[in-house]
Amino acid sequence: MKVSKKVILEFPKHTWDQPVIYTLHSKHHLTFNILKAKITPKSEGLMILELSGGREDFERGIDFLKELGVRVRYLAADITRDEEKCTHCGACTAICPTQALYINRDSMEVIFDKEKCIGCELCIPACPFRAIELKF
């Protein structure tokens, strides 16, 4: 049975020079689509990707990541924005990795492009008015 899930990987400093994603592909036979990545040499990193493969391969690949100290989170929820609570302050736009939340410069309103949203949840704590929520 094939598994395909979107995951957020948070890499600790000690993994910056290791072929982690290559190993997921070559040793665990997983395919991947990188949705967002921020990896800096000798620093922590963040990657959002879609992983696909057989169930056993997928589980072994996730175990491999965890053994390295990589924090793994699954994207299983849908992000929603409460228009009544939103004041269009723009705090969420600075943190959004895909620019699903952005400011329309003509109207100075925050726009939420749901099609670009990957559900990383970074915008939720950034919103001071709690206008962004998870919908399960």
| Domain ranges, ordered by start, for the chain | 2-74, 78-135
Return the CATH fold of 78-135: Alpha-Beta Plaits (3.30.70)
pLDDT surpasses 80 at 75: no
Question: Do you know the residue count of the chain?
Answer: 136
Which stretch of 4-8, 30-34, 53-57, 68-72 has the lowest confidence by average pLDDT?
A: 4-8
Q: How confident is the prediction for the chain on average, in pLDDT?
A: 91
- Side-chain half-sphere CA neighbours of 87 within 13 A: 6
| Secondary structure element (H or E) that encloses residue 49, with its range | strand 45-54
Question: Residue type for 55, please?
Answer: R
Report DSSP state, residue 60: H
pLDDT attached to residue 117: 85
**If you classify domain 2-74 with CATH, what class do you get?**
alpha beta
Fold match flag (2-74 vs 78-135)? yes
Confidence at residue 82, expressed as pLDDT on a 0 to 100 scale: 94
Two tokens, residue 41: 């040499």
Query: Distances from the Cα of 51 to the Cαs of 23, 33, 69, 76, in angstroms?
Result: 13, 7, 18, 13
What is residue 41's predicted lDDT score, i.e. its pLDDT?
Answer: 84
